[in-house]
Amino acid sequence: MLETFYPHSRVDSAYEMDYETLYQQGYRGIIYDIDNTLVPHGAPADERAMALFERLRGIGYDTVLLSNNKEPRVKMFADRVESRYIFKAGKPGQKGYHRAMELMNTRADTTLFIGDQLFTDVWGAKKAGIYTFLVKPIHPKEEIQIVLKRYLEKIVLYFYEKSLKNRKGSQE
């Protein structure tokens, strides 16, 4: 049952991923969460975020920011990184993920999702059939409802890591 929430992959940062190899594997669109995935919660797009999105465009990717936040926060970030966006996305519902794929003209098998939360970001993307990357949160300061979810995430991630070790052990 917990497998429902397991990411396909877990990485330290959205900024340290091998996007070129993923592009060679056929991925063409990337859906990103913003807060604590690309910048600390509520922070504007910084130079690092702008450089990442410029790099992604150079590789050939299309991007959409998918956030449960209100439009002013999401639009401010999206304008700086020059990406389309969906605000009040209703994650973990699938509608926002499907709309993002429509905007990018991609399918689930050519789209990646990158976010920092299991119960909204990863779960929603997995329900939509999208390959998911869970990143470590950028900053510990978060809203109280997210802090509470992080305790539950720790339990799920414990079993996720255990399942990875078991799989690795059975392959040896």
**Domain residue extents for the chain:** 2-171
CATH code for residues 2-171: 3.40.50.1000
Predicted local distance difference test score (pLDDT) of residue 140? 64
Q: How many Å is the Cα radius of gyration of the chain?
A: 15
Predicted local distance difference test score (pLDDT) of residue 2? 81
d(CA 36, CA 169): 33
Predicted local distance difference test score (pLDDT) of residue 139? 72
Sign of CA pseudo-dihedral 105, 24, 77, 82:
negative
In angstroms, the Cα distances linking 125 to 32, 53, 108, 146 are: 10, 20, 9, 18
Predicted local distance difference test score (pLDDT) of residue 164? 78
Predicted local distance difference test score (pLDDT) of residue 64? 98
The pTM is what?
0.88
In 12-143, which ranges are continuous DSSP H helix?
A: 19-24, 47-59, 71-81, 95-104, 123-127
pLDDT per residue rounded down to tens, the chain (172 residues): 788 889 999 999 999 999 999 999 999 999 999 999 999 989 999 999 999 999 999 999 999 999 999 999 999 999 999 999 999 999 999 999 999 999 999 999 999 999 999 989 999 999 999 999 999 998 766 666 666 676 678 777 778 888 877 776 666 5
Predicted local distance difference test score (pLDDT) of residue 109? 98
Report the SS3 class of residue 159: helix
Predicted local distance difference test score (pLDDT) of residue 142? 61
- Listed in sequence order, the residues at least 6 apart from 162 whose beta carbon sits closer than 8 Å to its beta carbon are none
In angstroms, the Cα distances linking 64 to 15, 95, 155, 159 are: 16, 14, 30, 31
d(CA 153, CA 3): 12
Sign of CA pseudo-dihedral 78, 53, 98, 104:
positive
Predicted local distance difference test score (pLDDT) of residue 162? 83
Predicted local distance difference test score (pLDDT) of residue 146? 65
In the chain, which ranges are continuous DSSP H helix?
A: 19-24, 47-59, 71-81, 95-104, 123-127, 144-171
